[in-house]
């Protein structure tokens, strides 16, 4: 029997209800199995966390099993990252990530439970692509911008890409043609196969398949989303200039693609 395929999704319901059904409820059920497959940090993210000044405090929005909370691996106590996630079962794992008690918060990526500028840095890894509308994805970016220091905050964001590498097991369907004024990217269901503990000899009849919603980002879409979110907040997107007057802004320090993901690194500034 062939493994289940990625299929096109149509977000037709209330986005909150849609995400509850096709994202949050699924992660509560697959949390232990999902966590067992998520243990190796991605290089760009590890390098970002290693680059942070000593004593900084940050936010991991959508922390999952908390695999990034113990980093940087070479000096884990240099910075302190607080994890946020909707999944209670994943947070139960995250709070002991790396064998140390961690500070974790159960909340949604669109919630705002802290004072503005409370954090020195924030990461959002493979989270925003689970939000079912362009507007909600933009709001998630704005929550990150609000959470970090306006003068020195740094943000790293990762999302899954339509453009998959040759190591990926995912084949993204073409889907319907989009009009030019519609948002780029593709809405899809990505299956998670949960095997029963009693499964032997690759008996696939004992498996359950959960279809998780993803918005797969097209080339340039993440950059445009971040720029639009920042500009809507009155932030300047670009380098700081001496004659800018009193204003706030962000610059893109990195804008790349790694292993089937798009990512951006943002630095905040004030003048």
Measured between alpha carbons, how far is 133 from 93 in angstroms, rounded to an integer? 29
* Structure confidence at residue 184 (pLDDT): 85
List, in order, residues 6 or more apart from 67 with CB less than 8 Å away: 38, 39, 40, 41, 97
Strand-strand pairing, 248-258 and 261-270: antiparallel
Residues in the chain: 271
Q: What does the mean pLDDT of the chain come to?
A: 90
DSSP 3-state assignment of 117? Answer: coil
List, in order, residues 6 or more apart from 102 with CB less than 8 Å away: 66, 69, 82, 83, 94, 95, 96
Helical residues (DSSP H) of 111-220, grouped into ranges: 134-147
Lowest mean pLDDT among 31-45, 119-133, 178-192: 178-192
Residue environment code for 140-170, b if the CB has 16+ CB neighbours within 10 A, otherwise e: bbbbbbbbbbbeebbbbbbbbbbebeeeeee
List, in order, residues 6 or more apart from 244 with CB less than 8 Å away: 236, 271
Nearest to 128 by CA among 141, 113, 112, 119: 141
Lowest mean pLDDT among 143-147, 152-156, 167-171, 229-233: 167-171
For 217-233, how does the pLDDT look when each residue is reduced to its tens digit (9 = 90+)? 999 999 999 999 999 99
Cβ-based neighbour number of residue 20 at 10 Å:
14
């Amino acid at each position: 029997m062939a493994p289940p395929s990625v299929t096109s999704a149509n977000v037709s319901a209330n986005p909150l209800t849609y995400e509850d059904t096709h994202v949050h409820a699924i992660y509560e059920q697959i949390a232990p199995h999902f966590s067992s497959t998520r243990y190796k940090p991605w290089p760009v993210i590890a390098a970002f966390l290693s680059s942070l000044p000593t004593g900084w405090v940050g936010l991991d929005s959508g922390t999952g099993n908390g695999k990034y909370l113990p980093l940087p691996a070479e000096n884990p106590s240099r910075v302190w990252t607080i994890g946020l996630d909707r999944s209670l079962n994943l947070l139960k794992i995250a709070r002991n990530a790396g064998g140390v008690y961690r500070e974790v918060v159960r909340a949604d990526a669109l919630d705002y439970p802290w004072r503005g500028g409370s954090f020195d840095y924030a990461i959002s890894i493979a989270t925003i692509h689970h939000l079912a509308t362009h507007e909600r994805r933009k709001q998630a970016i704005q929550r990150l911008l609000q959470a970090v220091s306006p003068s020195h905050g740094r943000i790293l964001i990762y999302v899954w890409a339509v453009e998959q590498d040759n190591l990926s097991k995912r084949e993204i369907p073409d889907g319907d043609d989009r009009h030019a004024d519609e948002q780029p990217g593709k809405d899809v269901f990505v299956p998670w196969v949960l095997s029963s503990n009693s499964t032997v000899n690759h008996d696939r009849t004992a498996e359950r398949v959960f279809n998780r919603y993803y918005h797969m980002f097209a080339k340039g879409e993440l950059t445009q989303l971040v720029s639009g979110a920042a500009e809507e907040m009155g932030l300047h997107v670009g380098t700081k200039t001496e004659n800018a007057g009193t204003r706030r802004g962000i610059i893109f320090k990195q804008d790349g693609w790694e292993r089937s993901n798009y990512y951006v690194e943002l630095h905040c500034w004030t003048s």
